[in-house]
Amino acid sequence: MQVSWLKKLFLKKEKDITNTRIMKKFLIVGLGNVGEKYHNTRHNIGFKILDEFAKKEELSFEVQKLGDIAKYKFKGRTFIFLKPSTYMNLSGKAVKYWLTKEKIPLENLLVICDDLNLSFGSIRVKAKGSDGGHNGLKDINAVLQTQKYARFRFGVGANFSKGRQSDYVLGTWSDEEMKLLPERIEKAILLIKSFGTAGLNNTMNAFNGK
C-alpha cells in the first residue's frame, strides 16, 4: 500500500516536471519559400525575421526534416525556430511534424507571415483567426485542423495594381522599405522574445499597432 502510494507520487512529480519543460518550449515558424530567387521578397518576411534573429544572437540553422532549424535559449525558455522547406503552400506538414517531435503544445506555436491588408511594417498578433487569403496559413489550418494558434502578421502593404498581387508579394522590397526594415525587424525580434516570456496577451497589448 505504502509502496503504491509512493510510486504514484513519484510518477505525478515526474509528469509535472515533464509538463513544465514542455510549457517552456516554443515553436516559432517563419513562413517563406526556399531558394535564392525568393530570398529578399515580401512573401519571405517570416524567413527574414528568423534569419536576422539568428544573426543577432549568433545562431546557426541546420537542415533537418521538412525545414531548417535553429534553437535559442532565453530566460529559461527554449525557442525552436523553423523555416519550412516545403514551400509556402505546404507549410502545415512541417509545422505539425515539429510540434509533434518536440512535444510542443499548440498554445506555444507562433507563425510569422506577410499581410497585404496591413501597411508596410505594421505589426498585428492574434490568438486565432482565418487564413485571410494567405496560402501558408491556409495549409497550416487544414493540417492542424484548427485556427486556434498565434500568428504574427507583418504588414507589406498593397501597393499593386489589379491582378498583380502575386507579382507584388513575390517581388523584392523597395529601396525605401529596405531602409526602414531593420528597425521593424528589431521590433519583431523583441515581439518573439515577449511571446515566450510574457505570454500572448501581454505581447498583443505591447506590440499590436506599434
Catalytic residues: 43
Name, in order, each residue with C-beta under 8 angstroms of 137's C-beta and a sequence gap of 6 or more: 31, 111, 113, 130, 131, 151
Q: Look up cell 505525478; give the residue.
A: 12
